[in-house]
Structure 1
Amino acid sequence: MKHHSVTTTLGEIAVAETGEGPVLVMLHGGGPGASGVGNYHQNLPSLSRHFRVVLPDQPGFGGSYRPTEEDLDKRSITEITVDALFQALDALGIDTFHLLGNSLGGAAAIAMAQERTDRVTRLVLMAPGGGWLPFGPTPTEGQKEMFRYYNGGGPSEKKMAAFIRTMVFDHRQFGEDVVQARYEASLDESHIAFYHRYNAAFAERGGMDPLWRDLHRIKAPTLLLWGRDDRTITLDGAQLMLKQIRDVQLHVFGRCGHWVQLERQREFEDLVTGFLT
């Protein structure tokens, strides 16, 4: 694993990478303590055999800089992330690439594929924010759990366990070591301060950017991966993506929640590798 700290006009972006071959950029979700390596480390032995896997920490997360309140007043977190990531990829000499994103990272992936259609060769979206219009109530159960984590007395292992139970179909797959690792990753004071600003900005803007309005601009062949039992970005909202993205296919996993890459690891890796190659 190689680690870089890439300078952009917004701030430093932490990037890890491993493997050789076509570039695959993987964007993590927006839960407390999330990061590129933290969210995808279990998938790297398989994917790095086929790709140069590039794992940025998005602004506000992991080792990357923390957007200020002023930053979030001017632009959404997705707009900030897209700007920072394109600058980071330019600095690393990466022109065209495959792109994969989950949840908040899925929103950034959609926006990148809409904005620079010439650079994203293939797109994998796992329950992405922004491109989805739910039929049920919002915020969803999983979104409420994320908002709750740093409020009401602050983070705790008990609240992290509750968060993980909401993210997955069967939490028994994930022991105390997973809860402990994610809890410890969530304790950085600068990340906590950012998360409060991030949640406040979401509330002020009424949620994610409405990326669903421009789904037709995506030219890259697209694979949607979704857990049928996702309680955060629910499957019912996928219909709009199926209708509006030109070249699209959907794979749904039963007995699976929001973290396909963990809950159905082997199938996830096989599907992604087959689609991208």
Structure 2
Amino acid sequence: MTAQRTVTVGGSPVHVLESGTGPAVLMLHGSGPGTTGSGAWAATAQTLGTSLHLVAPDQAGFGRTPIPPGSRGGLRLWTEQAAGLMDALGAERYAVVGHSMGGAVALALAAARPRQVTRVVAVSTMGAPGAPLSAELDAVWAAAPGPLGARDMLSRLVLDQALVTESAVAARAAAMRAGAAAYTSLFPPPRARWADDLTLSARTLAGIRAPVLLVHGAEDRVTPSGRQPCPCSTTCPMSVCTCSAGAATCRRSSTRTTSGDSCRASSAGTELPDRCDGSAARPQAPDSPSVGERRLRWTLPRPCRTRRSHLSPPC
């Protein structure tokens, strides 16, 4: 069962979707206009049930969470607000899952709060040094509120175009209109500077102590895997899942290594990290952070068994 409420963080309201009563998992949405915590994660929360305490906020400037007076959106604000939210909820230790922009926030939060963040899953994450703003992401950020803009944006965000239904377009168009005033201030042109704002420094990445799982869709055009350097590969202990035709997984390393000597993959199969459980999965909604990802589903934050899956070599 899920519930929505408002939590005061630093004197400013933060709208939150919550479910479950188990170990805490903070879930951070991406940056498309009209996205919200509930829009991005409600289907995931329903699937995971009540064994985890899932916390999915509208980040500042999105949904029902305003940008605090005197502030503007950006990595620093979103990171500090996420940390403050979990403090306000009394969560002493928690995992973090982030999609796209939320992935960069998740990694920054792990570096800022190494004692609180137990592990990170970053899906199609931004934040990699040297990753340019793609034409697709530029178009997503520029999408005009309304049905035409919603349809164009959703068609870019999902691999399976059957998910771009009339009801999905209508719902997203309504959300885009409702949040248009705040969203306009987040990513005005020229937009490459906002991608730069979400870039994580080597020093920040080096401060991450939690294991990190990176997941990237093979057909992702918004943050294409071929143009996304691994943000953690040389700077932090990690478990990595990237993709080529399907996906490939690197083992978690206890030392700082390059992705080349930490990966183990073959055409016969790839070992999944010892902190995740592989199973068939499919995007359930256009707002879901599952652009092209298949076959992987994670149970966090408890450890679980290792299993093998027939995956493609790493990109």
Query: Are 2:62 and 1:71 aligned?
Result: no
- Counterparts of 1:266 and 1:140, CA distance in 2: 23
Pairs aligned (count):
262
- Counterparts of 1:50 and 1:19, CA distance in 2: 6
Change in CA separation of 1:79 and 1:11 when aligned onto 2, cut-off 3 Å: same
1:96, distance to aligned residue in structure 2 (A)? 0.7
1:61, distance to aligned residue in structure 2 (A)? 0.8
- Counterparts of 1:228 and 1:49, CA distance in 2: 31
Is the 8 Å Cα contact of residues 26 and 101 (structure 1) preserved in structure 2? yes
Match of 2:306 in 1: none
Match of 2:240 in 1: 249
Change in CA separation of 1:212 and 1:142 when aligned onto 2, cut-off 3 Å: farther
Matches within 5 A, 1:1-277: 1-67=2-68, 70-72=70-72, 77-134=74-131, 138-150=132-144, 155-188=145-178, 191-200=179-188, 203=191, 205=193, 207=195, 208-213=197-202, 214-236=204-226, 237-252=228-243, 254=245, 261-263=289-291, 267-268=295-296, 270=297, 272-273=298-299, 276-277=302-303
Is the 8 Å Cα contact of residues 146 and 176 (structure 2) preserved in structure 1? no
1:247, distance to aligned residue in structure 2 (A)? 2.1
1:225, distance to aligned residue in structure 2 (A)? 0.9
State the one-letter code of the partner of 1:90: D
Residues 163-182 of structure 1: CA deviation (Å, up to 9, x unaligned): 11111223123322111111
Is the 8 Å Cα contact of residues 132 and 241 (structure 1) preserved in structure 2? no
Is the 8 Å Cα contact of residues 37 and 57 (structure 2) preserved in structure 1? yes
1:51, distance to aligned residue in structure 2 (A)? 1.0
Structure 2: gaps of 5 or more residues: 247-281, 304-315
State the one-letter code of the partner of 1:71: S
Give the structure, 1 or 2, with the largest relative contact order (CA under 8 Å, sep 6 or more).
1
- Counting aligned pairs with the same residue, the percent is 25
Is the 8 Å Cα contact of residues 3 and 16 (structure 1) preserved in structure 2? yes
- Counterparts of 2:288 and 2:295, CA distance in 1: 9
3-state SS, counterpart of residue 215 of structure 2: strand
RMSD: 2.7
Match of 2:263 in 1: none
Change in CA separation of 1:30 and 1:209 when aligned onto 2, cut-off 3 Å: closer
Q: TM-score, normalised by structure 1?
A: 0.84
3-state SS, counterpart of residue 273 of structure 1: coil
Is the 8 Å Cα contact of residues 79 and 108 (structure 2) preserved in structure 1? yes
State the one-letter code of the partner of 2:95: H
Structure 1: gaps of 5 or more residues: none
Is the 8 Å Cα contact of residues 211 and 238 (structure 2) preserved in structure 1? yes
Instruction: Report the structure, 1 or 2, having the larger helix content.
Output: 1
Match of 2:266 in 1: none
